[in-house]
Amino acid sequence: MPNDLAIRIEELSITYKVSLEAKRTLKNAVMRASLKQKERTRTIEAVKSLTLDVPHGSVLGIVGSNGAGKSTLMRCIAGILSPTEGRVIVNGKISTLLALGVGFNPALSGRDNIILGGLASGLNMDEISDKTDEIAEFAALPDGFIDLPVRTYSSGMYGRLSFAVAVSMTPDILLLDEALSAGDAAFKEKSFERMRQLCAEARTILIVSHALATVTDLCDTAIWMHKGSLVAKGKPEEIVDGYLKFLNVGSLPSSYEDM
């Protein structure tokens, strides 16, 4: 892999096999086996032979309608899902902020969760205790909420904390999936600021967002995914334009059809 690439994706396909049974239980499995039935399943191709190179220091926006496979792609780059076919090569330390937020345990305080999240992502205890205050400060939760259980948080507070954790890991590659949607205007400004700073430090950022302005504002390249395939790649403005047209018209532009 060339040295200037942060991520190389080769002919990547990811399929989910979904059970159509109401509940996957041992009991049902035994019943099925005794009746010689097969489990009813459906295969969903979430990503279809996608090829993409992401150079170091680029900020890539990913747009596409619901179910296009954006989150699936992000999970695969993070090493959480493994490919069904193809290959993903990643060069650098990854930090993820995926749709569900960092793995927060709702019964624990924000501070405890920061520590756990940091340790899970591979920091050691010294590194994370240095960072905890910094993260808490950046998230700027009101009224000492940082020491209350996460279950008492509003979704925006939750989002703030997740974002603060993800950007504090000084990642080489930062994956953000719908990360900026929950914060209020003030926090959005602050997080944009922080992301620009990360961009300036030549870190690689992948942003999935339905807020298309985020993509045009922050990204230097964008891709558009549709039903698991890459439809187009190019300048954010052009991609967003094409995507908006598609949303209004409802069909893929003919020039994209064979891609």
| 161 CB-contact burial (10 Å; exposed 0-12 / middle 13-18 / buried 19+) | buried
Provide the CB-side half-sphere exposure for 219 (13 A, CA).
Answer: 31
Give the length of the chain.
259
Rounded to 5 degrees, φ, ψ at 47 are -130, 130
147 and 110 Cβ atoms separated by less than 8 Å: yes
Which residues neighbour 216 within 8 Å (Cβ) at sequence distance 6 or greater? 61, 236, 237, 240
Given another protein, Mg ion, ligand ATP, none, residue 67, with its beta carbon under 5 to 8 Å by kind, binds ligand ATP
Site membership for ligand ATP, residue 64 (CB under 6 A): yes
Q: Which does 44 bind (CB under 5 to 8 A by kind): another protein, Mg ion, ligand ATP, none?
A: ligand ATP
Give residue number: closest CB to ligand ATP: 71
Among positions 6, 12, 60, 71, the unique one binding Mg ion when judged by CB under 5 A: 71
Output 18 or 259, the one with its CB closest to ligand ATP.
18
At residue 7, φ and ψ (nearest 5 deg) are: -140, 135
Binding residues for another protein (CB under 8 A): 1, 3, 16, 23-27, 29, 56-57, 75-94, 96-98, 100-105, 107-108, 112, 115-117, 119-122, 124-125, 134, 137-138, 140, 149, 170, 172, 186, 189-190, 193-194, 197, 200-203
**Cα-based distances in Å from 19 to 28, 47, 69, 154, 175:** 12, 19, 19, 34, 29
The answer to whether 9 contacts ligand ATP (rule: CB under 6 A) is no
Nearer to ligand ATP, 50 or 54 (CB): 50
- From candidates 5, 10, 13, 44, binder to ligand ATP by CB under 6 A: 44
User: Does residue 209 touch Mg ion according to CB under 5 A?
Assistant: no
Stretch that binds ligand ATP, among 5-13, 66-74, 131-139, 197-205 (CB under 6 A): 66-74
> Least distance to ligand ATP from the beta carbon of 135, Å?
26
Tell me which DSSP letter residue 109 carries. Answer: B
Instruction: Look at residues 40, 54, 47 and name the one whose alpha carbon lies nearest to residue 16.
Output: 47
Q: What are the residues binding Mg ion (CB under 5 A)?
A: 71, 99
Contact residues for ligand ATP (CB under 6 A)? 16, 18, 44, 46, 64, 66-72
